[in-house]
A = this chain, B = another copy of it.
Amino acid sequence: MRFDEAYSGKVFIMSRPTFEESKAVIYGMPMDWTVSFRPGSRFGPNRIREASIGLEEYSPYMDKHMEEVAYFDAGDMPLPFGNPQRSIEEIYSYVKRLLEQEKFPLGLGGEHLVSWPIFQAMYEKYPDLKIIHIDAHADLREEYEGEKLSHSTPIRKACELIGPENVYSFGIRSGMREEFQYAKDSGMYMARYEVAKPLAEVLPSLAGQSVYVTTDIDVLDPAFAPGTGTAEAGGISSKELLEAIQLIANSDINVVGADLVEVAPNYDPTEQTTIAASKFVREMLLGWVK
């Protein structure tokens, strides 16, 4: 053992030692500047890494071992405190560079607004991009309290960017009337309350497509993920989310990137939210990176 090999618990387990040899890159976006109710998701990425120590390296769901997927945990981006505009620019250029180097970006939030610059970078590389959005909230607002850059707007902006017909939302159980109306009128796909069943129905129609998957941990019922900023009762179980990840893994779609956002560990002294989140990250790595 060399002294600098002694590290443990600081990167997601089984991270490769160098960026170069990896296919996928885990990166944290510790930003919660626009969160209205309960901030704290800036601590999400590091606590997910810490919880990963408790993970088994083999997944019986995927019948795959973490050695079989080469990924590198690049740590958290330094983001300018309290400045959403500049933070978004940083994320955008970071992901652009990841894509230039042919990496699969697996981002950890932070608030959901972090997905917006990722969508932009992905769309420039994949002009036929589809987005699968798994969340309790529609996130279809045009603005929130006068701000267009908010954790309530990223899916609306996605619709405007790639066309609402290319956006598929699952599990939605909260939003303004205008958001549900927009979902109906615009032609986007929205499944309320459930995830696995509607996903199983939709996935065949996306076969062969380039798809980015963005998952807000609050799609889970607060019983399964109390550590989040805007917990919303009436959600799905961890079991259903694991099933959804498996459905995507077993489908014929081409996942080109993914994120998991809104883990706010301070609201959950039991640590079950980060423990569950680290398992979802493992499953995404094993099932979606090809």
Q: A78: shortest Cβ distance to chain B, in Å?
A: 7
Q: Is B270 in contact with A268, judged by CB distance below 8 angstroms?
A: yes
In the complex, what distance in Å separates the CA atom of A226 from the CA atom of B268? 10
In the complex, what distance in Å separates the CA atom of A57 from the CA atom of B176? 7
Smallest CB-CB separation from A146: which chain B residue?
Answer: B80
Does chain B have a CB within 8 A of A56? yes
Q: A17: shortest Cβ distance to chain B, in Å?
A: 9
Query: Which residues of B have CB within 8 Å of A222?
Result: 224, 238, 270, 272, 275-276
Q: Is B75 in contact with A6, judged by CB distance below 8 angstroms?
A: yes
In the complex, what distance in Å separates the CA atom of A40 from the CA atom of B265? 13
In the complex, what distance in Å separates the CA atom of A138 from the CA atom of B185? 47
Q: How many residues of A contact B (CB 8 A)?
A: 90
Q: Is B276 in contact with A233, judged by CB distance below 8 angstroms?
A: yes
Smallest CB-CB separation from A17: which chain B residue?
Answer: B4
Does chain B have a CB within 8 A of A46? yes
Copies of this chain assembled into the complex: 6
Question: Do A60 and B235 form a contact, CB below 8 Å, given A4-B19, A10-B10, A83-B147?
Answer: no
Query: Which residues of B have CB within 8 Å of A221?
Result: 223-224, 237-239
Q: Is A266 in contact with B266, judged by CB distance below 8 angstroms?
A: yes
Does chain B have a CB within 8 A of A74? yes
In the complex, what distance in Å separates the CA atom of A266 from the CA atom of B57? 25
Q: A109: shortest Cβ distance to chain B, in Å?
A: 15
Query: Which residues of B have CB within 8 Å of A97?
Result: 3
Does chain B have a CB within 8 A of A247? no
Q: Is A11 in contact with B8, judged by CB distance below 8 angstroms?
A: no
Q: Is A75 in contact with B233, judged by CB distance below 8 angstroms?
A: no
Question: Do A234 and B238 form a contact, CB below 8 Å, given A10-B75, A174-B60?
Answer: yes
Query: Which residues of B have CB within 8 Å of A232?
Result: 275, 279
In the complex, what distance in Å separates the CA atom of A56 from the CA atom of B175? 6
Q: Which of B54, B57, B235 contacts A239 (CB 8 A)?
A: B235
Additional A-B contact list (14), CB under 8 Å, known A4-B19, A233-B280: A3-B25, A7-B75, A10-B11, A32-B39, A36-B81, A40-B40, A56-B174, A58-B176, A60-B174, A60-B175, A65-B177, A233-B276, A267-B270, A267-B271
